[in-house]
Amino acid sequence: MLKIIYSGCTMKRNTFYLLAGIVALAEVGIFWLSVRLENPIPIQVAFVLGVILLYLARRRVEETIEDERTAMITQKAALRTLEASWVIFFVLSLGSAVIAFSRPLGLRPPHPEPHEVFPTEALELPVFGGFAIFQMTLLCLMIFLYVGFRVYYARKYGEWDTDEEQD
C-alpha cells in the first residue's frame, strides 16, 4: 500500500526544497530536544530518518535536478574537499603524534595513585564531550570546505548565469 502511494507520488523541484527546509528545521528542534532529555537517541534516529526521507523525496522530483554538469560539479567539489581534508587531518594527526612522542617512548610515566589524583568519573565525560566537539568542528570544517568548493565550481560552470530567457 505504502509502495503504491510512494510510486504514484511526484513532486515539483520547489516542493522538494521546501521539504528539505522543513526537515532541517525539524532536525534543529529535535537536537535541542535531545539535549534537554540528555538522550542522544532522538537526534541520531531523526537524522538518519531525515536523510532517508530526503533521498526518497529527491527521487520523486519530476523535473531534472541533476545532470552530467551538476554531477561533475559535485564530483570536483567532493574531490577538492577530500584533498583539503586529507591535509588538515594529517596536520592535526602530526600535532597529536608530536604531543604523544614528546614523552619518553610515548608512554606516560607511572603514577603512584592514579585514582586519587585523576578520578575516572570526573575525567571521562568532559574528555568525551571535548572529543565530540572536536569531531563536530572537523565535520563542520569539511562541510564549509565542500560548500565553498561547490560554489566555486558552480560559478565556473555557469550555475547562476542569466540571459534574456531568465524569468
Q: Point out which span in 49-57, 113-121, 129-137, 159-167 binds another protein (CB under 8 A).
A: 159-167
Map the footprint of another protein across residues 78-137, applying CB under 8 A: none
Closest separation between CB of residue 86 and another protein, Å?
A: 28
Contact 9, 57 (CB under 8 A): no
Closest CA to 137 of 88, 79, 80, 82: 88
Binder of another protein out of 5, 7, 41, 64 (CB under 8 A): 64
In this complex, which beta carbon is closest to another protein, that of residue 65 or of residue 147? 65
Angle, CA 24 vertex, CA 23 and CA 25 arms, to 5°: 90
Closest separation between CB of residue 158 and another protein, Å?
A: 3
In this complex, which beta carbon is closest to another protein, that of residue 53 or of residue 154? 154
H-helix or E-strand spanning residue 40: none
In this complex, which beta carbon is closest to another protein, that of residue 111 or of residue 155? 155
In this complex, which beta carbon is closest to another protein, that of residue 7 or of residue 162? 162
**Side chain identity at 15, as an amino acid letter?**
T
Closest separation between CB of residue 161 and another protein, Å?
A: 6
7, 8, 96 from 1: Cα distances, Å:
10, 11, 54
Distance CA 73, CA 67 (A): 10
C-alpha cell of residue 116? 586519587
